[in-house]
Amino acid sequence: MPGQDNETGQFRDKLIRRKQEWAAEGRLLTGRKARPESERLPPGQREVKTWPVLDLGAQPRIDLKLWRLTVDGLVENPVTLDWQSFTDLPQSESVSDIHCVTAWSRYDNRWRGLAVADLLELARPKPEAKFVLFQSYDTYTTNLPLEEFAVPDALLATHWEGEPLTVEHGGPLRVLVPQLYFWKSAKWIKRITFAAEDQPGFWEVRGYHNHGDPWEEERYSG
């Protein structure tokens, strides 16, 4: 990544290597079935009260005057929004649990932002659109089926517990898709592209599951 110092680069390479090893080993897999109706914790998870920070080590600070969100691909109304027009859109709240593939879960997070239903109403995906790709300001990418994005609790989140999202947690804007492992919830979102074909993202091409349902322990591919 341009402009990144050596130490950050080494941290990043080591972290990526370690997480790829975990995927190859099948670390943390229990083979146990748990259901959201009867249990709070998906298999292999433990509850934490803090909120760990996980990313590739380079946290982009975006000047709100320069910040843009582009929504494009197979939509009737492609848009590029600046911060003012984004925050003029309606706000919604949802409360949900976070499940990270590194085994921590955090209960009852109150998020605020643009409901995905409202984003879809604005952009109007074409019938051929079946997948979504997120691209972030730190070059991270992740992918989802459109039907996993279009769930009632999913948001483009600006706030957590009533406060603006901090940079370390993805501010000014991150994706929240709570029913999947948290790596699917891209921080520092820059672009959302609707497509007919799936395009695996950063971790999805490095041994992590393409879908990522915590209740099914979809941690790794293969």
Looking at 54, 89, 122, 146, which residue binds Mo ion (CB under 5 A)?
54
Select from Mo ion, ligand MTE, none the partner in contact with residue 26, using the beta carbon and a kind-dependent cut-off of 5 to 8 Å. none
Select from Mo ion, ligand MTE, none the partner in contact with residue 219, using the beta carbon and a kind-dependent cut-off of 5 to 8 Å. none
Question: Footprint of ligand MTE on residues 30-89 (CB under 6 A)?
Answer: 51-56
Q: Does 156 bind ligand MTE (CB under 6 A)?
A: no
Total residues in contact with ligand MTE, by rule CB under 6 A: 18
Q: Does 183 bind Mo ion (CB under 5 A)?
A: yes
The two most distant CA atoms of the chain are separated, in Å, by 48
Q: How far apart are CA 119 and CA 123, in angstroms?
A: 6
* Burial class (CB within 10 angstroms; exposed 0-12, middle 13-18, buried 19+) of 149: buried
Count helices and strands in the chain by DSSP H and E runs: 4, 11
Q: Does 169 bind ligand MTE (CB under 6 A)?
A: yes
Within 8 A by CB and 6+ apart from 18, the residues are none
Q: Does 187 bind ligand MTE (CB under 6 A)?
A: yes
* Burial class (CB within 10 angstroms; exposed 0-12, middle 13-18, buried 19+) of 173: buried
Q: Does 220 bind ligand MTE (CB under 6 A)?
A: no
Nearer to ligand MTE, 1 or 53 (CB): 53
Q: How far apart are CA 24 and CA 154, in angstroms?
A: 30
The residues binding ligand MTE (CB under 6 A) are: 51-56, 100, 136, 138, 140, 169-170, 182-183, 185-188
